[in-house]
Amino acid sequence: MRLVLFGPPGAGKGTQAARLAEDFGVAHVSTGDILREAVVKRTEHGRKASEYINAGGLVPSDILNEIVENKLSGMGCFLLDGYPRTVKQAEYLSNLHDIPLDVVILFEVPKDVLVKRLTGRRTCKQCMRIFNVNNEGITSTQTECPFCGGELEQRVDDKSETVVRRLQVYSDNTEPLIEFYRERGLLYEIDGDRPPEDVYADILGLLNSKNLDCNKV
């Protein structure tokens, strides 16, 4: 199983990826998570990446390509989330892997819903659970995690000005990939503006119809 979860920020890729990773035992490779960890650890990549992330722009592709190449090396089964984000990155990925991708799942969600989801997202610094002030039983001013009491925080790039920029960056740089993968017969479109369980059920249907799991690599 070699999947790319693809779509704008806030489309629900991370939520679905986490569940797929757990249910199928497949590695979830989220370039956003990898970069954020590098920023916290102040590694060389992290130091270079932080200003781009905070401004809602794209981190230079040479950094991402290196990260992804190292991560995927020797992996027959993976779930990419947040990469590729440009046609150049997609070309790099296809040259990198002699085993082709099985499917690219595009999550479609209207822009106003994305803005609401992203600006309402809060993460617990302690247990790392992700909540949303719109639907998770927390309020927009709440600072304590309802599970562990840890501090809830908003990602710097989820502030409203940065969200607008990220969505613009998506339509300028990442949307062209839809055609790239459609032409290659890999694209599967999914309505992401539904409860996560319904989206997950669709993904499972797709994986079953293609007979994909983590042993069939």
- Residue 132 phi/psi, 5° resolution? -140, 130
- Beta-carbon contacts of 65 under 8 Å, excluding residues fewer than 6 positions away, are 89, 92, 96
CA dihedral 34, 175, 194, 143 (to 10 degrees): 40
Question: How many chain residues are in contact with ligand AMP, going by CB under 6 A?
Answer: 17
Binding test (CB under 6 A) with ligand AMP, winner from 85, 117, 121, 122 = 85
CB of 209 to ligand AMP, least distance (A): 27
What is the rounded distance in angstroms from the CA atom of residue 168 to the CA atom of residue 162? 10
Catalytic residue among 48, 116, 155, 159: 155
In the bound state, the residue with its beta carbon closest to ligand AMP is 32
Q: Within positions 129 to 168, which residues make up the interface with ligand AMP, using CB under 6 A?
A: 157, 166
> Which segments of the chain are extended strands (E)?
2-6, 27-30, 78-81, 103-108, 121-124, 130-132, 152-153, 187-191
Q: Within positions 3 to 22, which residues make up the interface with ligand AMP, using CB under 6 A?
A: 9
Q: Which is nearer to ligand AMP, 54 or 142 (CB)?
A: 54
Catalytic residue among 2, 36, 117, 166: 166
Instruction: Determine, following the binding rule CB under 6 A, whether residue 83 of this chain makes contact with ligand AMP.
Output: yes
What is the rounded distance in angstroms from the CA atom of residue 115 to the CA atom of residue 22? 28
Does residue 85 carry a catalytic annotation? yes
Binding test (CB under 6 A) with ligand AMP, winner from 52, 71, 94, 156 = 52
Does residue 19 carry a catalytic annotation? no
Instruction: Determine, following the binding rule CB under 6 A, whether residue 35 of this chain makes contact with ligand AMP.
Output: yes
What is the rounded distance in angstroms from the CA atom of residue 173 to the CA atom of residue 86? 5
Does residue 13 carry a catalytic annotation? yes
Instruction: Determine, following the binding rule CB under 6 A, whether residue 38 of this chain makes contact with ligand AMP.
Output: no
Across-strand partners of 149? none
Does residue 111 carry a catalytic annotation? no
- Beta-carbon contacts of 143 under 8 Å, excluding residues fewer than 6 positions away, are 151, 152
**Sign of the torsion angle spanned by Cα atoms 65, 71, 132, 51:** negative
Q: Which is nearer to ligand AMP, 10 or 152 (CB)?
A: 10
- The site for ligand AMP (CB under 6 A) is made up of 9, 31-32, 35, 52-53, 56-59, 64, 82-83, 85, 89, 157, 166
Q: Which residues are catalytic?
A: 13, 85, 121, 155, 166
